[in-house]
Structure 1
């Protein structure tokens, strides 16, 4: 049984690695093979059935995206609000379950994420809504180290996002018991400084926590304390068990434990993490009542299987794997440590989860273990029981609960203030570049590999791999970042770096510095910039320049800076083995497209030409000045606009590669078809960042070699392309 359960989960989880979404017609023969192999090949049968299940559910959930008009025009939706996510800029995000689209009933009811702007208060959870919206299919930016928004959305069951352009009808939901209790809670805690923390820990409502609060929780490794899950449900069940046992009957203990745990899960809104913990508890309590003894491994596997049966896209949810990993680590430690002291258990748990946390978040908190050793008993034995007492008193009277919340406020205020101070003073979160992560992996694997029969041979193989890793890399590299409709290019030689343009930032608070550039710096171990060149003042090129200068030291500021060195044709700098030559503009400006800084970078053999947003007038000016333009790598001027890249300019540069920095399905139609045709006629290899993600090229003798082009990435990165081509994978530009 365990084997079938494990491989079923593995088959469902294979969706993480699919390069494309397989055709729906494949399910029947695979399912037949799985059924035939059920007894003779249980592992194969489990894997195939898991694969078929996630394939069928994915096509079923995504079918509505191919209805006419989705992503192309405004549409009228009807549905109910599933969740409201307030933001600190006054806007909100709504997760809405759609029932109708332009009058057509939808089954299953898809979930969409909508932005709510304006001064009017946002709808509440459970409200009915009909509105005019513009929906679009998620399309994630594809850069190493960046947050994967497409995976996150599908992991939440969200298949489209968009914004409201007008509300037609709004039907407030009938106020339920939980909402009435939450209103009583808000009244009883009005004016308390610790109210956001108490709200998060009791009702799972974390919208009032600030970004600085989340950063502190991450830095200290204690985010799990405010995500109501196994620790909280298990604690409440344990209290219920003890209370029931006082009655002298085992069944009473089981029933009270189940009632209290279910009540707390209801109070917390039955979030995904809460559902996982409650399901595992129900299975365990059911086995106890039945008188059967199952291993913790089987209970975990059965819980994961049931959850993936209900929602196979949970395999895309990082929280699902953190929860499963934590339980698996506890089971492993329980089997290996006969005497589990809290400190020893916490150290073991931290070490076992280290690869998972490092892989998901790209860093580690060196204070996580000691802080958790202090806080877990404090929360378990004092804070959570007090909070549950206060919530229980709310059922009788908010006035009776107020003193309990006052005591909690007195405890939480100094505690959270102290944690903020500790995080600020110690800076415990350490971002690990890819090389450091590989070293950690090697250090963790070596003791395990030493126990295997062929340990010596494996050690030699690992030593060889380590030598290959430490082998000197290419002399210099160019990475054209995927920043949507904008531009940012990173040029590196060793650990020295030049950044050309910074991408855009938006009213919502999202910006390409935090979302793309800084995560890539962390991954590569770049902690300073020799040059930050800003081509011109357009926001899709310059919006993050000042912010980036506060995050990383910048030695030279070149181009469109308030206080920096303006670009002027004829400037030349020697940067290590590379020569930087500024070819344009003749007269510094910075405010128009044709004022863009045109930078030529060369090692004497290979060259790259960075062109900003110049148009044909500037291209003719460059040709008239008779400056050497030849470069094997070219960034197409103005993102591939039809106003640029005329034939004479292409002939003068004679590139082998051209990169069009254009956002996916952008409204301007970049790169323009006639521009693509001119480069194709010249025999130039073309790539588009919006379609293929970050473009990474390395110096390889007299030519550029592209890295990673044979790895298209998982299918959910290109969900919009899948929709536009009717489920057939699009071909790249030739």
Structure 2
């Protein structure tokens, strides 16, 4: 049975690495092969069944996106709010179950994520509404180290996203019991300094936690304490089993544990991590009450199979795999004598080090100690006290004050201490890709030493180490995928120049934290030689002060107050490269045509960075008599038709042009006219919104591109799949 469960889960999990989304007709052939091979090859049959189910489910959930004219156009939607996420910056996000689109009923009802920008309060959870919105398929910025939002959305069961500013109509519904209790809890904790933490730990409402709070949790490796999942559900069930046995014997204990765990999951809104933990726990409690003994491995595999049968896209959810790996590690480490907690926590830390490092780009050296102290504190004091407060809020509201006051006292002092630790000791170690590879190599060698004949692997390990430390090419250009904006990183070994920074938004989301800094960390770069800001537009300059503070650039050029402005004729030698400023004649910075035009060359290969200059500045550049030729061009103004004149293209004569245009941007960049001009000139064109980050290496024979197209599996290229797929009739 274990083998069949394992191969079914493996078949579903193959969804992670499909290079493309196979046609929907394939599922029937796979299902038939599974049935035919059931008797002779059951493991293979289970794998094919899992593969067929994942394929069938994916097409079933994504088929509605093939509606003609869906992407980039306004639609009339009718739906119901499944979840309302209130964020600390005052913004709101709605997870909506769509009933119809432009009057056409949808089945199954897809879930979409809508950002609310209206001044009026958004629809409440459970409320129905109709509105005009614009929807897009899941799409993520594609840069090394950037959060994969497309994978995250699908892993949550969300197949599109969009935005709302108002509704046409609403259909209020009676307030659900959980929402009433949540509102009472909000009122009871109003004014308490620790209210956001109490809401996160009791109801799973984490919107009140600030970016600084999340940085602290990550730095100390304790984020899992505020994501209601296995630890919390297991603890509550344990308390229920203990209380039930005291009152009603063995079977009463199992029942009480199950009911209490279900109640806590209900409080948390049956979030995805909570569902995973609840399924596994109920399965274990059911077997215990039935008097059957199954190994932990079988329970884990059956729970995985049940979860993936209900929601195959869970394999795209990082939290799902971290939960599975944590449970597997616990099973591996179970048993032993004294110092069990220390041994378990140390073993978990080491076994989960590789996935945590690869997923989050670093490790916390304080994680082990912090968890050794905080897990018992949360398990034995804070969570039981918080549950007591929730029960009192329902049964005896007048008595809820003392436990909440005690919780506020503990949490306020505890969080102040944790913030001080995180800021003063800097426990988070961000690791470059090379450092991560070396850590994995050391762990692999340690594991291999336990195997017979492991000494034979030492030459291979030495080769990998030499490969990791081998010097890179002379210079490289990375045109970052920052949506509708511009940011270009030029590197020579460990020296770097950044041209523009991408945008920053009122919600707090910004391209510095989302794209630029993770990439620099991955490359092992801690500072900049040059930070050049082309002009004042926010999609170019919004993160300049923040990045200047974080990266301490040696030179600041362009649109800076009190710094060296760009001026035509300015020149500098930077390592093996020559930097020449071609424009503007006089420092300005506020208009597109004031953009700093920078030419970078090693004498053979050259790059021209143009900011947002338009036809007027292009004509002035041509009349200046300066040498504009460059074999790599970043197109002016993202490929707007106001730029890239025929004469300018002829003077630059690039072999390759990159348009820094966001996916499905509202301006239609790059313009069809501009694309046609470059095409007639025989220039190869790339668009960051379609390709992701474009990494180019200077070579003796021209620019060599690293990678091709948007990297990774099928969910990175959903837009291309929709364009190729046959629209629904």
Common fold by TM > 0.5: yes
Indicate how the Cα distance of structure 1 residues 585 and 187 shifts in structure 2: closer, same or farther if over 3 A, else same.
closer
Q: Deviations over 1:429-488 (max 9, x none)?
A: 111110111011111111222333442332212211221221111011100001112111
The structure-2 alpha-carbon separation of the partners of 1:193 and 1:595, relative to structure 1 and needing over 3 Å to count, comes to closer
Q: Counterpart of 1:70 in 2: which secondary structure? A: coil
Q: Is the 8 A contact 2:297 2:331 kept in 1?
A: yes
| TM-score, normalization by structure 1 | 0.96
Q: Report how far residue 75 of structure 1 moved.
A: 2.0
**CA distance in 2 between partners of 1:29 and 1:261 (Å):** 41
- The yes-or-no answer on 1:95 pairing with 2:95 is yes
**2:391 aligns to what SS in structure 1?**
helix
Pair 1:468-2:463 in alignment: no
Q: Following superposition of structure 1 onto structure 2, how do residues 312-327 of structure 1 map, counting pairs within 5 Å?
A: 312-327=312-327
* Residue 328 of structure 1, CA deviation: 0.9
The match for 2:683 is: 684
- 1:173 corresponds to which residue? 173
Contact 1:476–1:491 under 8 Å retained in 2: yes
The answer to whether the 8 A contact 2:142-2:710 is kept is: no
Residues 467/726 of structure 1: CA separation in 2 closer, same or farther (3 Å cut): same
Instruction: Report deviation, 1:588.
Output: 2.3
SS of the equivalent of 1:166 reads: coil
| Residues 191 and 542 of structure 1, relative CA distance in 2, 3 Å threshold | closer
- Residue 495 of structure 1 is matched in structure 2 by 494
Residues 652, 467 of structure 1: CA spacing in aligned structure 2 closer, same or farther, 3 A cutoff? same
Question: What is the distance in 2 between the residues matched to 1:598 and 1:189?
Answer: 55
Kindly report which structure 2 residues correspond to 1:555-574, keeping only aligned pairs within 5 A, or say none.
555-574=554-573
CA distance in 1, matches of 2:664, 2:119: 31
**How many angstroms does 1:147 deviate by?**
0.8
Q: Contact between 1:334 and 1:340, CA under 8 Å: does it hold in 2?
A: no
C-alpha contact 1:383 1:408 (8 A) present in aligned 2: yes
Work out the CA distance in 2 between the residues paired with 1:338 and 1:403.
Answer: 39
The structural deviation recorded for 1:348 is 0.8
Give the Cα separation in 2 of the matches to 1:561 and 1:30.
61
Partner residue in 1 for 2:353:
354
CA contact (8 A) 1:187 1:398 kept: no
C-alpha distance 183-572 of structure 1, shift in aligned 2 (>3 A): closer
8 A Cα contact 1:91 1:118, kept in partner = no
Task: Give the corresponding residue for 1:107.
Answer: 107
**Residue 134 (structure 1) aligns with:** 134
For residue 732 of structure 1, what is the aligned residue in structure 2? none
| Corresponding residue of 1:707 | 706
Tell me which residue corresponds to 2:54: 54
Q: Which residue of 1 aligns with 2:183?
A: 183
Return closer, same or farther for 1:195/1:165 CA change in 2, 3 Å cut-off.
closer
Matched position secondary structure for 1:309 = helix
Mapped partners of 1:408, 1:646: distance in 2:
66
- Given that 1:18 and 1:715 are in contact with CA atoms closer than 8 Å, whether structure 2 keeps it comes out as yes
Q: How much has 1:189 moved relative to structure 2? A: 2.7
1:143 CA drift (Å)? 0.6
SS in 2 for 1:599: strand
3-state SS of paired residue (1:502): coil
CA distance in 2, matches of 1:488, 1:355: 31
Kept in 2: contact 1:584–1:598 (CA 8 A): yes
1:180-209 deviations in whole A, cap 9, x for unaligned? 322332333333222222222122222222
- Structure 1 window deviating more from structure 2 (7-16 vs 342-351): it is 7-16
Give the Cα separation in 2 of the matches to 1:569 and 1:426: 46
**What per-residue deviation string (whole Å, max 9, x for no partner) do you get for residues 682-708 of structure 1?**
332221111101000112224211111
Structure 1 CA distance for aligned equivalents of residues 656 and 345 of structure 2: 52
8 Å contact kept, 2:556–2:563: yes
Counterpart Cα distance in 2 of 1:275 and 1:462: 42
Partner of 2:386: 387
What is the alpha-carbon distance in structure 2 between the residues aligned to residue 15 and residue 727 of structure 1?
Answer: 22
What's the offset of the Cα at 1:338? 5.4
The equivalent residue for 2:531 is 532
In structure 1, what is the Cα distance between the partners aligned to 2:40 and 2:465? 41
For residue 585 of structure 2, give the secondary structure of its aligned residue in structure 1: coil
Supply the distance in 1 between the matched residues of 2:145 and 2:632 (Cα, whole angstroms).
Answer: 25
* Structure 1 CA distance for aligned equivalents of residues 180 and 677 of structure 2: 66
CA distance in structure 2 between the partners assigned to 1:169 and 1:680 by the alignment: 48
Match of 1:508 in 2: 507
Q: How does 1:139-154 map to 2 (within 5 A)?
A: 139-154=139-154
The alignment covers a number of residue pairs equal to 727
**3-state SS, counterpart of residue 554 of structure 1:** coil
CA contact (8 A) 2:491 2:497 kept: yes
- Give the whole-Å Cα distance in 2 for the aligned partners of 1:317 and 1:545: 33
Cα offset, 1:109, TM superposition? 0.8
CA distance in 1, matches of 2:380, 2:176: 31
Partner of residue 202, structure 1:
202
Tell me, yes or no, if the aligned pair for 2:605 and 2:631 is still in contact at 8 Å: yes
Give the equivalent residue in structure 2 for 1:43.
Answer: 43
Question: 1:19: Cα distance to partner?
Answer: 2.4
Q: Contact 1:634/1:655 (CA < 8 Å) preserved in 2?
A: yes
Give the drift of 1:727. 6.2
Aligned-pair CA distance for 1:178 = 2.1
Gaps of 5+ in 2: none
Kept in 2, the 8 Å contact 1:634–1:659? The answer is yes
Give the Cα separation in 1 of the matches to 2:352 and 2:282.
Answer: 25
Find the aligned partners of 1:298 and 1:462 in 2 and give their Cα distance: 35
> How many Å separate the matches in 1 of 2:200 and 2:537?
41
Q: CA RMSD in A?
A: 1.8
Q: CA deviation at 1:710?
A: 6.5
The structural deviation recorded for 1:554 is 1.3
| CA distance in structure 2 between the partners assigned to 1:721 and 1:509 by the alignment | 30
Alpha-carbon displacement from aligned partner over 1:14-49 (angstroms, at most 9, x marks no partner): 222222211111111122122222233333222222
* Cα distance in 2 for residues equivalent to 1:619 and 1:411: 64
Residue matched to 2:125: 125
Query: Matches of 1:530 and 1:727 in 2, distance apart?
Result: 50
What CA distance in whole angstroms lies between the structure 2 residues aligned with 1:175 and 1:166?
Answer: 21
Counterpart residue number, 2:4: 4
Query: Per-residue deviation at 1:515?
Result: 1.3
The equivalent of 2:650 in structure 1 is: 651
Matching of residues 233-248 of structure 1 within 5 Å? 233-247=233-247
Distance (Å, rounded) in 2 between the aligned partners of 1:207 and 1:578? 47
TM-score by length of 2: 0.96
CA distance in 2, matches of 1:184, 1:638: 52
Question: Residue 548 of structure 1 corresponds to which residue in structure 2?
Answer: 547
* More off after superposition, 317-326 vs 615-624: 615-624
Does 2:635 correspond to 1:636? yes
In the alignment, the residues of structure 1 paired with residue 88 and residue 181 of structure 2 have an alpha-carbon distance, to the nearest angstrom, of 24
310-319 vs 384-393, which moves further = 384-393
Q: Distance in 2 between matches of 1:155 and 1:586?
A: 52
Deviation at 1:641, TM superposition (A): 2.4
Give the Å deviation of 1:632. Answer: 1.9
1:528-552 deviation digits (Å, cap 9, x = unpaired): 1111111122222112212211221
Verify the 8 A CA contact 1:387 1:408 in the aligned structure 2.
yes
Q: Secondary structure at the match of 1:192?
A: coil
CA distance in 2, matches of 1:636, 1:179: 52
Residue 45 and residue 462 in structure 1: after superposition, are their counterparts in 2 closer, same or farther (change >3 A)? farther
C-alpha contact (below 8 Å) 2:614/2:642 kept by paired residues? yes
C-alpha spacing 1:711/1:37, structure 2 compared with 1 (3 Å): farther
Q: Which residue of 1 aligns with 2:163?
A: 163
Q: Distance in 2 between matches of 1:647 and 1:184?
A: 66
Instruction: Provide the C-alpha distance between the structure 1 equivalents of 2:411 and 2:503, rounded to a whole number of angstroms.
Output: 39
SS in 1 for 2:164: strand
Work out whether residues 527 and 552 of structure 1, in 8 Å CA contact, stay in contact via their aligned partners in 2.
Answer: yes
Aligned twin of 1:587: 586
Q: 2: CA distance between counterparts of 1:645 and 1:228?
A: 53
Q: Which moved more, 1:84-93 or 1:425-434?
A: 84-93
Runs of 5+ unmatched residues, structure 1: 729-734
Alpha-carbon distance in 2 for matches of 1:351, 1:88 = 34
Tell me the equivalent position of 1:294. Answer: 294
Q: Which moved more, 1:521-530 or 1:114-123?
A: 114-123
